[in-house]
A = this chain, B = another copy of it.
Amino acid sequence: MSAEVPPGYDPYAFEPFAVTVDLAVFTVREHVLQALLIERGEEPYAGRWALPGGFVRREESAEEAARRELAEETGLSGPNAARLHLEQLRTYSDPGRDPRMRVVSVAFAALVPDLPEPRGGGDATGACWRPVADCTGLAFDHDRILADAHERVRAKLEYTCLGTAFCPAAFTLGELQQVYETVWGVALDRPNFRRKVLASPGFVERMPNAPRRTGGRGAPAALYRAGSAATLQPPLMRPEGRTP
């Protein structure tokens, strides 16, 4: 662990890196998977779109930094903050990923329900939701980070209960199914989807209230909330063919 360190040289006094977090924040809005972008105000990449993020402070972990930045960028706090899924994706450390100096970035993927406002008290010059398909030409290596996060989310819906993270506190099974269809880009059979979800213990729980009648035309649907389970047994497979 220390052969490459010259004798008498404190190994902890060299090779300083800057450490940042980058956030790939996803939501489902208007039947489309969207990501949160900010417009950079400074060089490098001034005026370009980028993933939200920022520096890790001395007294906090990367997870805490990610949660703080997310709150600043989206205004997510209080009861909403509890309904948020935040997960470490991986760390990007290529030398040269920032033209100025060595910056190592811990990337996170976040899943949030459809929020009323695109951003809260953020400090970026501009923040907006954008369909992930249109998120190209981002600053730094953020195209790559977003693509990795997208694939991670797609895969995780198969064997975890993460789909509920895209839904509000109370949701119908039809809304949950739309989340899956949107993220995977396929059409699912409604009766079979129902059965699988209800057969997975702890995936969803029925809310002890009355069903709602949305503005939409159709029979009133029962309301559910996210259950306590984290993983899905058996997994909810995503079919390969078939586009919606």
Contact = CB atoms under 8 A, between A and B. Distances in A.
A72 to B, nearest CB: 7
A227 to B, nearest CB: 20
A61 interface: yes
Given A11-B55, A18-B16, A94 B1 contact: no
Query: Majority SS of interface residues in chain A?
Result: loop
Contact of A12 (B1, B14, B18, B88): B18
Contacts of A235: 235
Interface of A: 1-5, 11-12, 14-19, 38, 40-42, 52-63, 72, 88, 90-91, 93-95, 100-104, 106, 123-124, 235
Contact of A58 (B40, B56, B57, B95): B95
Nearest to A62: B93
B12 A101 contact: yes
Given A2-B42, A3-B123, A55 B15 contact: yes
A56 B1 contact: no
A12 B62 CA distance: 17
B42 A62 contact: no
Q: Which residue, of A17, A100, A123, has the highest number of chain B Cβ atoms within 10 A?
A: A17
A58 B54 CA distance: 21
Contact of A91 (B42, B53, B88): B88
